Amino acid sequence: MTDSKPRYRSYTSPAGGWGAAAATAKVLLEQSVVTKGSRALLSMNQPGGFKCPSCAFPDADCTKTLEFCENGAKALAHEATKFRVTRDFFAQHSVAELMAQSDYWLEMQGRLTEPMRYDPATDHYVPVSWDEAFATIGRHLRALDDPNAAEFYTSGRTPNEAAFLYSIFVREYGTNNFPDCSNMCHEPTSRGLPPAIGVGKGTVVLEDFEQAQAIFVIGQNPGTNAPRMMTLLVEARKRGVPIVAVNPMPERALIRFTEPQDAIQMATFGSTEIASEFVHIRVGGDLALLKGMMKVMVEREAAGETVFDHNFLREHTEGFAELKADIEAQDWADIVAASGVSEEQIRRCAEIYIRSKATIICYGMGLTQHQLGSRLVQQVANILLLKGNYGRPGAGISPIRGHSNVQGDRTVGIDEKPGAAYLDRVRDVFGFNPPRAHGHHTIESVEAMLAGTAKVFIGLGGNFVRAVPDTERAYDAMRKLDLTVGIATKLNRGHLVHGREALILPVVARSERIETAAGEQFVTIEDSMSNVTASRGVLDPASPHLMPEVEIVCRMAMAALPASKVDWAGYIDDYGRIRDKIAEVYPAIYEGFSERIKAPRGFHLDIPPRRRVWATPNGKANFLVLPGLAVNAEIADPAMLRLATVRSHDQFNTTIYSYNDRYRGVRGDRMILFMNAADREARGLDAGARVALETISDDGVERRVDGLTIIDYPMSRGAVAGYYPELNPLLPLDHYDRISGTPAAKSIPVRVVAPAAKG
Ligand SMILES: Nc1nc2c(c(=O)[nH]1)N[C@H]1C(S)=C(S)[C@@H](COP(=O)(O)OP(=O)(O)OC[C@H]3O[C@@H](n4cnc5c(=O)[nH]c(N)nc54)[C@H](O)[C@@H]3O)O[C@H]1N2
Ligand SMILES: Nc1nc2c(c(=O)[nH]1)N[C@H]1C(S)=C(S)[C@@H](COP(=O)(O)OP(=O)(O)OC[C@H]3O[C@@H](n4cnc5c(=O)[nH]c(N)nc54)[C@H](O)[C@@H]3O)O[C@H]1N2
Ligand SMILES: [Mo]
């Protein structure tokens, strides 16, 4: 915490606008990259340039001159920063000293510059040669009796080429242990949608937003986490398209937004009202809302109106009768109580949905991060099926992904539960027998570390210990390991909470040029709407000693697998050869990759539901019923509140850009508890009180976070919110969705308790 007196003033201006423009200028200045950063921003998301390292939202067509947002600019400025973490820095600070610093401070030290190894004798990181680093990794991996004792994490900034090779390396090594960031994020989409519609991805493309007649935004905060999406929402509103926003927090950008790319709106201080209907849902109340809307549809059909797309239902779906029976069994009073939304408003939402001939439903972490997240996502698929909102312009399901290439990483093999057909393909293309047994997802990998069965952790990007639940236990877990390896651009806590031996391997970043013996290389990424595009860095690497991720993966493989059947050395220089192999392993979607990627805006990967083709066992789209109205285990404790851990406007996941959260009116602090005044008064607490939170659980582990300041905020009743990752110590490791493995980070059962007495 930087400031003992946090300041809070409710933010009443529209989101976006000059505030966004000013914040862009400020961050370039703070990182001392005004000229370099501004120049790089002109190449971001442009043909021939690089892809924004921030979120996974696709870019629009070339008619827009600038294709970045305030938060993309922050991501770029922090990557292009002039600050450096050098060997002198590590000589000055022991790991114990660095541990005492905040995540913000660590981030602000700048880019990593050379490989480092942990020296237990001095508790300092010291320089190590790349050769020695790979030899260490090879020695540890070769020494393991069981390849399943190694965990291979991936974070979603890793491009397709590196992720693909990593998935081949790890499988040849002998395990499917692929914990990844998606396991904490949109896995309910990847696992929940295939049995419903045959693909674990979204079915809309950008153009669909221009033809939609209604748009729902559920559990998502696009003004902060996908700001380029705001352009589409503004345009839709200007066309009079109703937008329904469903959220326990009245996020500013969902209410009013000024489009920073709109010169007239900027000049006149104008703004656009976004949500025509703001649904102030209870945390976890979305299931009840969706069922309420479906109930209205069922009732109107029973009264003789044609509401469903009957041809579509007949031709394309199975399970309608079961769904209908489940909906009929729900009682209105229960629906209203579980959602916290009035019957009138649910009826208005249903009316919007019924009238629209093409509806898009977007959703984010507010929907996925619950104990039944995967099955909740299936209910979104259901309501869209009822009106045939697939394979029609302007309609479909639209999970808004997080990391810029998290979807692509999964497509090219980062998957702890690979299918048999894919494994056969890998065997045929590469000539080794990949392991068939499923591997660990993120939670299972932490459990294996705690149990002492895991020995080695390799993190291809990311900040594993800060991202996972149960921070204290995660720290214990990492410290039991023999070797931890962090492959990263920036120093983070994951490098400080380490195994007996530890390495930090610094990489060339997205915005930087990759030069190999074969000349300049580009990489590819897949965005949230399945577009694959090339990304070519334009800046000089932060240091001459950085290595591209592709080369790091190849050299780890060469060190660990001396008798490999794969030509690793051949992939280091020529990324075209990697793409040819991707095409061989995934002919159905990647045939002709090297040719197709030459198109200035890349190409779209086939999504069968767009053609009304369903890759499910029965060849149909399936209605999947989730009985009841709850997506989290009920807890009969009257003091219980549901805690949603969310992102501020000034962070990218575990990377903290500042202590401010502009749209929520917070300055100078992140130890905040957003609470409804009525919930606060019911507990006899004062506004601005300092409190602690305790998790309600029955596993005997005490989980508590102290030093939180209550802010009166228009939360829905019974819901509180605070920031991730500071509140991760409250999230129990086993509080997760069993289908996807995704932690229920939006519904932690907590109670407010008195703070520890100050010593
Ligand atoms: N600038 C920036 N951009 C990012 C990121 C970042 O940290 N910073 N992270 C990236 C990543 S990896 C991801 S996954 C995405 C995340 O993007 P979002 O999905 O927008 O992320 P969150 O802030 O976690 O939460 C989303 C919203 O869910 C709401 N919510 C909480 N509980 C519920 C509930 O029960 N029901 C409903 N309907 N809503 C609920 C919260 O109030 C919040 O507005 O953004 C990506 N883009
Ligand atoms: N309580 C709670 N927990 C959550 C969430 C939540 O909403 N609430 N959200 C979850 C979600 S959605 C996600 S996606 C995860 C995120 O989990 P992660 O993906 O593991 O975390 P990040 O903070 O995105 O990782 C940041 C680090 O990545 C490294 N990095 C940045 N760019 C690059 C690059 O180009 N290459 C390489 N190799 N490294 C790079 C930098 O060193 C930086 O410190 O957290 C999850 N955890
Ligand atoms: Mo994410």
Is the separation of the CB atoms in 578 and 506 below 8 Å?
A: no
Q: Give the number of domains in the chain.
A: 4
Around ion ligand 3, which residues have CB less than 5 A away?
Answer: 185, 402
Q: Which listed ligand is nearest to 184 at the C-alpha?
A: 2
Domain that holds residue 145: 84-181+414-507+546-573
Does a structural domain hold residue 745? yes
494 lines ligand 2 (CB under 6 A): no
Residue 5 has pLDDT above 70, yes or no: no
560 lines ligand 2 (CB under 6 A): no
Distance CA(589)–CA(601), nearest Å, equals: 17
111 lines ligand 2 (CB under 6 A): no
Mutate to test the pocket of ligand 2, among 78, 181, 464, 514 (most ligand atoms within 8 A of CB): 181
Q: If you measure from the C-alpha of residue 443 to the centroid of ligand 1, how many angstroms do you get, rounded to a whole number?
A: 20
Residues 206 and 355 in one domain: yes
Residues 556 and 491 in one domain: yes
pLDDT of residue 61: 55
pLDDT digits (tens, 9 = 90+) for 69-84: 888 889 999 999 999 9
Average pLDDT, the chain: 94
Mutate to test the pocket of ligand 2, among 367, 407, 492, 653 (most ligand atoms within 8 A of CB): 653
Residues 28 and 50 in one domain: yes
pLDDT digits (tens, 9 = 90+) for 713-729: 999 999 999 999 999 99
Look at residues 531, 555, 573 and tell me which one is the last residue of a structural domain.
573
Residues 335 and 233 in one domain: yes
pLDDT of residue 66: 57
Atom of ligand 2 nearest to the CA of 510: 35
Cis peptide upstream of residue 725 (ω within 30 degrees of 0):
yes
Does a structural domain hold residue 301? yes
Alpha helices, H only, 522-647: 549-560, 568-573, 575-585, 587-590, 593-596
Cα torsion angle, 664, 665, 670, 676, sign: negative
CATH number for the domain harbouring residue 135: 3.40.50.740
Does a structural domain hold residue 132? yes
Does a structural domain hold residue 664? yes
Atom of ligand 1 nearest to the CA of 746: 32
Does a structural domain hold residue 68? yes
Residues 237 and 162 in one domain: no
Q: If you measure from the C-alpha of residue 468 to the centroid of ligand 2, how many angstroms do you get, rounded to a whole number?
A: 10
Average pLDDT of 41-66?
78
CATH number for the domain harbouring residue 689: 2.40.40.20
283 lines ligand 1 (CB under 6 A): yes
Residues 304 and 214 in one domain: yes
How confident is residue 759, by pLDDT bands cut at 50, 70 and 90? Answer: very low
Residues 658 and 552 in one domain: no
Residues 304 and 388 in one domain: yes
Look at residues 400, 424, 456 and tell me which one is the last residue of a structural domain.
400
Alpha helices, H only, 303-405: 310-316, 320-328, 332-339, 343-355, 365-368, 373-386
Is the separation of the CB atoms in 147 and 169 below 8 Å?
A: no
Atom of ligand 2 nearest to the CA of 488: 39
Look at residues 370, 400, 430 and tell me which one is the last residue of a structural domain.
400
Average pLDDT of 28-37?
86
Q: Which listed ligand is nearest to 648 at the C-alpha?
A: 1
Residues 246 and 361 in one domain: yes
Q: Which residues, in sequence order, are CB contacts of 329 under 8 Å at separation 6+? A: none
Token look-up 């990697």 returns 578
Residue 192 has pLDDT above 60, yes or no: yes
Does a structural domain hold residue 597? no
CATH number for the domain harbouring residue 272: 3.40.228.10
pLDDT digits (tens, 9 = 90+) for 654-694: 999 999 999 999 999 999 999 999 999 999 999 999 999 99
Residue located nearest, by CA, to atom 4 of ligand 2: 467
Atom of ligand 2 nearest to the CA of 509: 35
Does a structural domain hold residue 633? no
Residues 319 and 227 in one domain: yes
Residues 166 and 247 in one domain: no
Distance CA(198)–CA(158), nearest Å, equals: 26
Question: pTM for this one?
Answer: 0.96
Q: If you measure from the C-alpha of residue 181 to the centroid of ligand 3, how many angstroms do you get, rounded to a whole number?
A: 6
Q: If you measure from the C-alpha of residue 728 to the centroid of ligand 2, how many angstroms do you get, rounded to a whole number?
A: 14
Q: If you measure from the C-alpha of residue 180 to the centroid of ligand 2, how many angstroms do you get, rounded to a whole number?
A: 10
What does the DSSP assignment read for 126-158?
EE--HHHHHHHHHHHHHH-SSGGGEEEEE-TTS
Average pLDDT of 728-751?
98
Does a structural domain hold residue 530? no
How confident is residue 68, by pLDDT bands cut at 50, 70 and 90? Answer: confident
Q: Which listed ligand is nearest to 714 at the C-alpha?
A: 1
Residues 28 and 171 in one domain: no
